[in-house]
Structure 1
Amino acid sequence: MPVFADVDTGVDDAMALVYLLASPDADLVGIASTAGNVGVQQVCVNNLGLLELCRAGSIPVSKGSEHPLSAPLRTAEDTHGPEGLGYARLPATDRQLTEHDAAQAWVSAARAHPGELIGLATGPLTNLALAMRVEPGLPRLLRRLVIMGGAFDYRGNTTPVSEWNISVDPESAAEVFGGWTAAWGTDAPEHLPIVLGLNLTEHIAMTPQLLGRLAEAAGSPTAPMSELDERGTRSAAVNPLIRVLEDAMRFYFEFHFDTDDGYLAHLHDPLAAAVALDPELVQYRQTTVDVELAGTLTRGMTVADWRGHWGLPPNALIGVRVDPAVFFDRFIDRVGPFAHSLGPT
Structure 2
Amino acid sequence: MAKKLLIIDTDCGIDDAQAIMMALAAPDVEVLGITCVFGNTAVENVCQNVLKVLSVCERQRIPVFRGSAGPLVGPANTVRDHFGTDGLGDVLKDKDPRWEEKIQREHAVSAMIRLVSENQNQVSLMAIGPLTNLALAVRLDPGFPQKLKDLYIMGGNMEGKGNVTLCAEFNFAMDPESAYIVLEEFLCTTYIASWEYACRNSLPWEFFEQLVNQDAPAARFMKTITAKCWAYSKEAMVNKRDVYFGPCFVSYDAYAMATCIDSSVLTESIECPVRVELQGSIARGMMVVDRTNQLKKNHSVFVMTKCDCAKLSQLLLKSLRQPCRK
Does the TM-score normalized on the shorter chain lie above 0.5? Answer: yes
Instruction: Give how far 1:60 is off.
Output: 0.9
Q: Tell me, yes or no, if structure 1 residue 13 matches structure 2 residue 16.
A: yes
Could you tell me which amino acid in structure 2 is paired with residue 253 of structure 1? Y
Quote the residue 1:143 is aligned against: 149
- The answer to whether the aligner puts 1:322 opposite 2:301 as a matched pair is no
Match status 1:111 vs 2:117: yes
Q: Distance in 1 between matches of 2:39 and 2:33?
A: 19
Query: Could you list the per-position Cα deviations for residues 242-269 of structure 1 after superposition, in whole angstroms to 9, with x for gaps in the alignment?
Result: 2220122331323883234376542110
1:330 is displaced (CA, Å) by 2.6
**Inter-partner Cα distance in structure 2 for 1:212 and 1:305:** 39
Compared with structure 1, are the counterparts of its residues 315 and 90 closer, same or farther at alpha carbon in structure 2 (3 Å cutoff)? Answer: farther
- Aligned ranges for residues 12-31 of structure 1 at < 5 Å? 12-31=15-34
Do 1:149 and 1:195's aligned partners in 2 also have CA atoms closer than 8 Å?
yes
Contact 2:212–2:223 at 8 Å: present in 1 too?
A: no
Provide the secondary structure at the position in 2 that maps to 1:202: helix
Name the residue aligned to 2:319: 335
1:205 to 169, 194, 202: 202
Aligned with 2:126: secondary structure? strand
CA distance in 2, matches of 1:126, 1:163: 15
1: distance between equivalents of 2:12 and 2:111? Answer: 17
Q: Which 10-residue stretch deviates more, 63-72 or 319-328?
A: 319-328
> Deviations along 1:265-320, whole A, 9 cap, x unmatched?
42110111111122332221111111111122211111121101122113311111
Do residues 258 (structure 1) and 246 (structure 2) align?
Answer: no
Of the candidates 223, 244, 247, which is equivalent to residue 224 of structure 2?
A: 247
- Report if aligned partners of 2:160, 2:168 keep a CA contact under 8 Å in 1: no
Task: Report what 2:179 is aligned to.
Answer: 173
| CA shift in 2, pair 1:108/1:328, >3 Å | same
Match of 1:278?
Answer: 262
- The answer on whether the counterparts of 2:212 and 2:222 sit within 8 Å (CA) in structure 1 is no
Conserved 8 A contact 2:18-2:319 = no
Q: Is the 8 A contact 1:3 1:26 kept in 2?
A: yes
Runs of 4+ in 1 over 4 A off after TM superposition: 90-95
Write the letter of the residue equivalent to 1:173: A
CA change 1:323–1:154 in 2 (3 A) is farther
Alignment of 1:59-74 (within 5 A): 59-74=62-77
1:179-209, CA deviations, whole angstroms, 9 ceiling, x for partnerless residues?
A: 12xxx4xxxxxx4210110121113435542
Question: Which among 254, 277, 280 is matched to residue 292 of structure 1?
Answer: 277
Q: Identity of aligned pairs, percent?
A: 29
Deviation at 1:76, TM superposition (A): 5.1
* Distance across 1 between alignment mates of 2:322 and 2:281: 47
Q: Which amino acid in structure 1 is aligned with residue 238 of structure 2?
A: T
Aligned mate of 1:55, from 46, 58, 77: 58
Q: What is the rounded CA distance, in whole Å, between the counterparts of 2:321 and 2:128 in structure 1?
A: 24
Which of 233, 248, 252 is residue 268 of structure 1 equivalent to? 252
Q: 1:122 aligns with which of 128, 139, 143?
A: 128
Tell me, in whole angstroms, the C-alpha distance in 2 between the residues paired with 1:338 and 1:91: 20
| SS in structure 2 of the partner of residue 337 of structure 1 | coil
Moved more, 69-78 or 284-293: 69-78
Which residue number in structure 2 is paired with residue 40 of structure 1?
Answer: 43
- Go from structure 1 to structure 2 and tell me whether the alpha carbon gap of 1:54 and 1:269 turns closer, same or farther (over 3 Å shift): same
Check the 8 A contact 1:257/1:263 in 2, yes or no: no
1:131 aligns to 2:137 (yes or no): yes
Taking only aligned residues, the RMSD between alpha carbons, in angstroms, comes to: 2.1
The Cα shift of 1:138 comes to 1.2
